Amino acid sequence: MVTSVLYRCNIRILELAMKNELNKQELHNLAMNIVGKDLEDQGYEFLGIKSELKTNPQFVALKEKKLHFVVVRAILYPDDPKKFDQIFMEGIKEHALKFNARTFYAGVGLANSKDYELPITKDEDYIVNYDGIQEV
């Protein structure tokens, strides 16, 4: 009987967590907010911002009269936010060169602060692993 009640309680907790779990677009928006604040703090002037998934680059910005393309990715634990798809980023870099722009990757590692293995939810704190933009 006790086992049955505990099982139902665990199922209910999982159901509630799933309802509040951030979806891919929300995780992407969170990562973009983190990177956008960092770029703003560094003095970048935004010319274009694209927050839709699979639209690249996410930020087109100027700093010291030089154009910058920044690709942002939300990376969930345990994946390494510093690693990126080299072939994909080379394609972005080729596109950027047509505009005499520099290309950067911004991987933002995200994890649930209570348990890294749990999803990130709207109701709980999260941990950020972000070391700034990396030039490609």
CATH number of domain containing 75: 3.40.1350.10
Q: What is the pLDDT along the chain (136 residues), one digit of tens a residue?
A: 555 555 554 565 555 545 699 999 999 999 999 999 999 999 999 999 999 998 999 999 999 999 999 999 999 999 999 999 999 999 999 999 999 999 999 999 999 999 999 999 999 999 999 999 999 9
- 62 belongs to a structural domain: yes
Q: In this structure, are residues 40 and 136 in contact, taking their beta carbons and an 8 Å threshold?
A: no
- 93 belongs to a structural domain: yes
DSSP-based three-state secondary structure for 69: strand
Q: Which residue has the tokens 């049955």?
A: 4
Q: H or E segment at 98?
A: none
Q: What is the pTM of this model?
A: 0.85
In the chain, how many domains are there?
1
Q: Which two tokens stand for residue 43?
A: 């003095």
- 12 belongs to a structural domain: no
- 2 belongs to a structural domain: no
Residues in the chain: 136
- 3 belongs to a structural domain: no
DSSP state of 36: H
